[in-house]
Structure 1
Amino acid sequence: MNKAIREGVPVERYYYWSQMDNFEWTEGESAKFGLYRCNFDTQERTARKSAGLYARLCRDKELTQQMIDEFSITGSPNLQSKL
């Protein structure tokens, strides 16, 4: 997204799917990708590390090396060059 913004793409919003773990028709309750962990038996919600990262992204409107280090972001091997 940073690369797109630098190249002039008018990025105005970013939506994260999903706020909390939910029911997926093909995977039932086993898919775990929400910002908040949901215990389907007790309905208790617990913030994941990713919730903190998303909050910082929204507040600071940028992804910094410090955030990458703090939240242990992995993924694209050339992420550094995209900052």
Structure 2
Amino acid sequence: MAFTVTVLAWSTVEFQSQLEAKNELSNAMDAIKRGTDYFIKAHPQPDVLYGEDGDAEAAAAFAAASVAFKPSNPTYICN
């Protein structure tokens, strides 16, 4: 799931103008937010993340999502 959120976020950043032109940007952002909301709930306190052992992909998902959300909602993940 984290890999999917990462790829979706970077794709949204890369193809933002095309998504806007087809009125699909909000759908892409909603899909990213659904995944990152799940990861936020799995991160109940600093230095605690409930997930698969040995997989640091959640950090990449958060990083990519923060770039995708920066123009429209910079406080969602960036703070």
Q: TM-score, normalised by structure 1?
A: 0.31
More helix by share: 2
Q: TM-score, normalised by structure 2?
A: 0.31
**Structure ID, larger Rg:** 1
RCO greater where, 1 or 2, for CA within 8 Å and sep 6 or more?
2
